[in-house]
Amino acid sequence: MSDILQFAVLGFSTGAVYAVLGSSLVSIYVATGIINFAQGSLALWGVWQTAALQANGTLVLPIGSFKLTDGPTDTVPALLIGAASCLVWAVLAHFLVFRPLRRAPVLGQVVASVGMMLLLQALVTLRFDADTLGLDPTVLIPMPILPSDTFTLAGATIAVSNLILAGIAIAIAAGMWAYLRFTKMGTATRAGAEDERALRLLGYSPDRLAALVWGATGFVSGLIVVLAAPAIGGLDPTSYMFYVVPALSVALVGRLTSVGTVCAAGLALGALQQILLFGTTKDWWPSWAQAGVGDAIPFVIVVVALFALGRSIPERGSAGVGRLPRVSVPRLRPLPVAGAVAVAGLVIALTSGTWRFSLVMSAIFTLIAVSVVLLTGYLGQISLATMAFAGAAGFALSKLTTNAGVPFPFSLFLAAVVSTLLGVIVGVPALRIRGAQLAVATVAAALAIEAFVFNNPSLTPYSGALIKDPSLFGYSLAVREGTNIITLRFSYLVLAVVVLLLIAVARLFGGATGRAFLAVRSNERAASSAGVDVAATKLLGFAIASFLAGIGGGLIGYSSGQLSAASFTVLVGLTVLAMTYVGGITTITGAVIAGLAGPLGVLYLFLNQSLDLSKYYTLIAALGMLLRAVVFPPDGGPVQEWLAARLPRRTPALATGAGSVTAGSVTAGSVTAGSVTAGTAATSAGTAAASTATAPSAGTTDGVAASAASAASAASAASAASAASGGPADSESSADSDSVTAADAAPSIAARSADAR
Amino acid sequence: MPAEPDSKQRLLATAGVSVHYGGVRANDEITLAVDGGEIVGLIGPNGAGKTTFVDAITGFTRYTGTVELGGTSLDDAGPHRRRRAGLARTWQAGELFGDLTVAENLIVAVEGGGVRGALTDVFGRRRRTDQAVWNALELVGLAELAEHRPDQLTLGQQKLVGVARAIVGATQVLLLDEPAAGLDTEESVAFGGELRRLAASGLGVLLIDHDMTLVLDVCDRVYVMDFGRIIATGTPAEVSADERVVAAYLGSAVTT
């Protein structure tokens, strides 16, 4: 009993961190509606900043640094400056990233906050280096700030610092609660979550109220982590970043509203993890569950919280969900596909060594990115567990080939089936929740899988999980042969598998599955009223996506001959999501771009070999993600709107179109949906096409053929202009840059009614 | 065309359907029936519980009581099962799938999904669009707009697409939640004609609307709801002469 008390109190140090991060997440959610995945990364910066100050007085800025004091800074200033640096980051994040996205779709907000998370983590690694600090960063440690006294209670040794931490966490949570509950500004903040416009009319600035919350939560998050760091453990460039996951899980326990519940749940979770850790040292504890138990708990909590406490799908369609990136259903044309495959095959044949290897990795990551496109882009389910699915298949492949001796094609297939099953299990919470909350559940699942499977010595030997080379009918398809690190045979095997699966996915997108996915994505209750089984469709999406990711994971396994957890961390998974979002989360082309830019792909090698910039890879990924989310969102953003607002004035022909209300609204929609990099010419042509295309709906049926024809010509103009400006030709709707499609609309509908698709 | 059930056959029968929201009885023991070939009106002032009733019998809201379609109980079925069984509804706000074309909005309602659908997508031949889709679109006069996206249509057209989406497939009873709101007079009259044609094909129609001209004009029978319960029922002529009805609803509707 005294042991349990001792370990429970020991857990208050991490518990205090969960409590404060969780309370901060709730406050930010109340003030802005954002679930901030970057809250742990903010604190990570603070810990490093304080440690650097305490070591030799260096104040590190994103660019540049200076000596604040000669020699080590005193404890209290170091602590306050460290926490203040988190405050500055949080306020910057608010004004530069989250405020512009306050009306964006949830996906954009999640991507942006994951981008912030990666950005801060990358910056910590890059900025707190030997050059900046003037000392080896590995010698930095978080200095104890709180008293180190202990006392004995009921036979348990209790550290005073842990009780102080818990007290501080409770005080911070109480302060947040009191602010939101009793102060005029707090009440206004909560009201702003309901109706921002009314708040403005009352003379409040929701932005300033939100900035206050961002700053305050940033400060306290930094403060508590700096204070707790000595008790929790050393400095490590990632660990505190993922403290956001348990914090999110306790935030969900508090239903993202109750700061008090979150604080209590956070402290309890910390205590529970330590008690379980104590349990794992006992003889009766099963050996397979010795590692990773503590990390698996948040996922269990998330699932329980969502099913026991969570409300089911709201009755009314959720209002205020922003536009999602438009989808253009891929059409499989044999010639272009064959051409692209031939080019890929040729390039693989012409390269060798690391370049060929990076091409093959790009092909594999294209497949994994397609799984993201399918699940997140088409079905609208934000999953952050993609790499965990891939990894699970990789580890299954190792067991299947080395322990069970399953031969090649079956081994890969069965491994993918394992990850499919896992995907369906992880998909179950999606039946209850959606949007950012689902992202929380999946990232918790990913961390649980990572800790429980990949890093579990009883499942994965420290020596690495070996995988037997594939062979077919006695013909070796091994990745290595002598000094050749990647054989042509293996490369073509990967290419064939990836191409076949991409074609299969394209057929799914164009068929009943794609339509059912899009129906669920656009409106769940309408989908079920149209006879679509929403639950089964979501699980099918998770199953297919995890199957694809599983094949990808298996191929990664074959390409290295053995697996390590490092290939499949949550961090890699987030990078893949980032790259897919940047490339275009609703298109297969986007997945190919993501593959080329993805981890270990061609872009990585290019940065590494040609520019020696590979250490900036995560930073570049994060910046790309943030730019894409904030400045060039796929659903239309400030740049596109800026162009749209200025175009009518410059183009006289459009002035008439903008006059009518219908044409005006469609015009805006079309420009929004238009391609991101398309220049002014493309946008204006697209606008013209759209305003022409409104004629059929507004006019009589007689006019349809004529206006469709003119829409077609305008659309081909748009496509020509877009091609000229070098923009990707994926503008949407009637301004479809595919001029063949638009031209198809001109002949009488009756002719094509027999075979619509 | 929708499957053709026998005319004059009892298709939809609800008995004692009640819905509670907290302490409020939004629906109180609603018992009504719709026969094949019949257009039945369900009217009542705002907040009477009409939409709640539709939500309940289509499986979107919990209720007590029983709902039968063609003699088979639907009480344990979820919304999509009820739809596939033949009980289809429209929504006040249209609720179309913005990412799909008009034709695809309908195709979703007739084709099978799931694992089998996925396998057919990958390995099977491209499926031809079901003729029922074109029939339904022609019935509402929107075949020309089949390849358009919903946001390119007027509100009235969007509602018609919603109706078309509800009649494709094996629909036996059609529940129309304010289909005429947003239509102008001309469109509303034309819509009434389309409803009659639908009913003539053997479909049962339950029409909920504020447009009294439309309801009294096309309905064979009318139920009147107020405060969650049915206060009167009968032919349009009987109902519009009923004093309770006039007091609850028609009086105010006529003066506005």
Q: Model confidence over A544-579: pLDDT tens digits?
A: 999 999 999 999 988 888 777 777 888 888 888 888
> pLDDT class for A647, splitting at 50, 70, 90?
low
Single-letter residue type at A751: A
Site from A515, A529, A736 to mutate, B interface, most B CB atoms within 10 angstroms: A529
What's the pLDDT score for residue A416? 94
Beta bridge partners of B14: B32, B67
First to last CA, chain B: 39
Handedness of CA A80, A86, A92, A95 (dihedral sign): negative
Which residue from B97, B129, B145 is facing A697, i.e. has the nearest CB? Answer: B145
What's the pLDDT score for residue A266? 92
% of chain A surpassing 70 pLDDT: 80
Tell me the C-alpha distance between B185 and B176, whole Å. Answer: 18
Q: For residue B52, what are its two tokens?
A: 């709640």
Question: Given an 8 Å threshold on Cβ–Cβ distance, is B91 in contact with A526?
Answer: yes
Tell me the C-alpha distance between B133 and B169, whole Å. Answer: 8
Helix axes A206-232, A39-56, angle to 10 degrees: 60
Q: Which residues of B touch A756 (CB under 8 A)?
A: 103, 107, 128-129, 133, 146-147
Residue B80 has phi, psi (to 5 degrees) of: -70, -35
Tell me the C-alpha distance between B60 and B34, whole Å. Answer: 20
A701 pLDDT above the threshold of 80: no
Q: Which of residues 52-71 of B touch A (CB under 8 A)?
A: 55, 58-61
Most confident by average pLDDT, A65-79, A296-310, A542-556, B111-125: A542-556
Q: Which residues contact B131 (CB under 8 A, 6 or more apart)?
A: none
Which residue from B121, B145, B165 is facing A696, i.e. has the nearest CB? Answer: B145
Residue linked to tokens 């914090």 = A247
Q: In which element (H, E) is residue A156 found?
A: strand A156-159
Cα torsion at A100, A432, A192, A640 (round to 10°)? 20
Residue B160 has phi, psi (to 5 degrees) of: -65, -35
Beta strand A150-153 pairing with B229-234 = unpaired
Question: Given an 8 Å threshold on Cβ–Cβ distance, is B79 in contact with A536?
Answer: no
Q: Is B157 on the interface with A (CB under 8 A)?
A: yes
| Mean pLDDT of the region A736-757 | 35
Q: Is B152 on the interface with A (CB under 8 A)?
A: yes
Helix axes A534-560, A353-372, angle to 10 degrees: 170
Q: Min CA distance, A694 vs chain B (Å)?
A: 6
Question: Given an 8 Å threshold on Cβ–Cβ distance, is A531 in contact with B96?
Answer: no
pLDDT 10s digits, A27-38: 998 888 888 999
Q: Which residues of B touch A532 (CB under 8 A)?
A: 80, 108-109, 113
> pLDDT class for A715, splitting at 50, 70, 90?
very low
Tell me the C-alpha distance between A488 and A480, whole Å. Answer: 10
pLDDT 10s digits, A89-116: 999 999 999 988 877 888 888 889 989 9
Q: For residue A658, what are its two tokens?
A: 């903008």
Question: Given an 8 Å threshold on Cβ–Cβ distance, is A532 in contact with B58?
Answer: no
Single-letter residue type at B58: T
Q: Which CATH architecture has domain B10-97+170-255?
A: 3-Layer(aba) Sandwich (3.40)
Which residue from B112, B133, B146 is facing A749, i.e. has the nearest CB? Answer: B146
Burial of A473 (0-12, 13-18, 19+ CB in 10 A): exposed
Q: For residue A272, what are its two tokens?
A: 């529970």
| Mean pLDDT of the region A479-502 | 87
Tell me the C-alpha distance between A344 and A376, whole Å. Answer: 27
Rounded alpha-carbon distances, angstroms, from residue A382 to A105, A106, A517: 12, 9, 13
Residue linked to tokens 């029936």 = B33
pLDDT 10s digits, A591-612: 999 899 888 888 888 887 777 7
A561 — alpha (psi -120 to 50), left (phi > 0) or beta? left
Which residue from B99, B146, B151 is facing A521, i.e. has the nearest CB? Answer: B99
Q: Which residues of B touch A745 (CB under 8 A)?
A: 147
> pLDDT class for A374, splitting at 50, 70, 90?
very high
A651 pLDDT above the threshold of 60: no
Tell me the C-alpha distance between A611 and A735, whole Å. Answer: 40
What's the pLDDT score for residue A443? 87
Which residue from B91, B143, B169 is facing A753, i.e. has the nearest CB? Answer: B143
pTM exceeds 0.90 for this model: no
Q: Are the CB atoms for A384 and A568 separated by under 8 Å?
A: no
Handedness of CA A357, A363, A367, A373 (dihedral sign): positive
Q: For residue A73, what are its two tokens?
A: 């800074």
Residue linked to tokens 């931490």 = A165
Site from B81, B99, B108 to mutate, A interface, most A CB atoms within 10 angstroms: B99
Tell me the C-alpha distance between B155 and B93, whole Å. Answer: 9
% of chain A surpassing 90 pLDDT: 26
Question: Given an 8 Å threshold on Cβ–Cβ distance, is B118 in contact with A704?
Answer: no
Question: Given an 8 Å threshold on Cβ–Cβ distance, is A530 in contact with B115?
Answer: no
Q: Which residues of A touch B115 (CB under 8 A)?
A: 540
Burial A82-111, CB ≥16 within 10 A → b, else e:
bbbbbbbbbbebbeebbbbbbebbbbbbbb
Q: Min CA distance, B67 vs chain A (Å)?
A: 16
> pLDDT class for A737, splitting at 50, 70, 90?
very low
Tell me the C-alpha distance between B97 and B78, whole Å. Answer: 20
What's the pLDDT score for residue B164? 92
> pLDDT class for A682, splitting at 50, 70, 90?
very low
Q: Min CA distance, A257 vs chain B (Å)?
A: 22
Tell me the C-alpha distance between A358 and A379, whole Å. Answer: 30
Tell me the C-alpha distance between A583 and B171, whole Å. Answer: 42
Q: Would you list the DSSP string of A158-187?
A: EEHHHHHHHHHHHHHHHHHHHHHHHSHHHH
Our CA angle for A478, A481, A485, nearest 5°, is: 90
Tell me the C-alpha distance between A693 and A680, whole Å. Answer: 20
Q: Is B46 on the interface with A (CB under 8 A)?
A: no
Q: Over chain A, what is the mean pLDDT?
A: 78
Q: Min CA distance, B249 vs chain A (Å)?
A: 26
Cα torsion at A177, A180, A183, A184 (round to 10°)? -170
How would you write the pLDDT of chain B (256 residues) with one tens digit per residue? 444 444 468 899 999 999 988 778 889 899 999 999 999 999 888 888 899 999 999 999 999 999 999 989 999 999 999 999 999 999 988 789 988 999 999 999 988 778 888 888 888 877 777 788 998 898 888 889 989 998 888 888 888 899 999 999 889 999 999 888 777 788 788 888 888 988 998 899 999 987 777 888 899 999 998 888 898 899 998 888 888 877 776 555 444 3
Tell me the C-alpha distance between A415 and A397, whole Å. Answer: 5
Q: For residue B59, what are its two tokens?
A: 């499986």
Tell me the C-alpha distance between B127 and B115, whole Å. Answer: 16
Q: For residue A431, what are its two tokens?
A: 């039946």
CB atoms closer than 10 angstroms to residue A294: 21
Question: Comparing C-alpha atoms, which of A515, A513, A508, A505 is closest to residue A588?
Answer: A505
Which residue from A511, A532, A544 is facing B80, i.e. has the nearest CB? Answer: A532
Domain limits, chain B:
10-97+170-255
Tell me the C-alpha distance between B69 and B81, whole Å. Answer: 12
What's the pLDDT score for residue A718? 40
Size of chain A in residues: 757
Q: Which residues of A touch B142 (CB under 8 A)?
A: none
First to last CA, chain A: 69
Size of chain B in residues: 256
Tell me the C-alpha distance between A433 and B91, whole Å. Answer: 23
**Higher per-residue confidence, A194 vs A368:** A368
Rounded alpha-carbon distances, angstroms, from residue A595 to A365, A369, A599, B238: 5, 7, 8, 70
pLDDT 10s digits, A41-57: 999 999 999 988 888 88
Q: Which residues of A touch B146 (CB under 8 A)?
A: 749, 753, 756
CB atoms closer than 10 angstroms to residue A2: 12
Domain limits, chain A:
2-285, 351-568, 638-753
Largest CA-CA distance found in chain B, in angstroms, rounded: 64
Residue B206 has phi, psi (to 5 degrees) of: -110, 115
What's the pLDDT score for residue B130? 79
Residue linked to tokens 């190792």 = A398
Q: Is B80 on the interface with A (CB under 8 A)?
A: yes
Handedness of CA B171, B172, B177, B180 (dihedral sign): positive
Indicate the fold that domain A2-285 takes in CATH.
ABC transporter involved in vitamin B12 uptake, BtuC (1.10.3470)
Tell me the C-alpha distance between A356 and A569, whole Å. Answer: 24
3-state secondary structure of A477: coil
3-state secondary structure of A152: strand
Handedness of CA A423, A429, A431, A435 (dihedral sign): negative
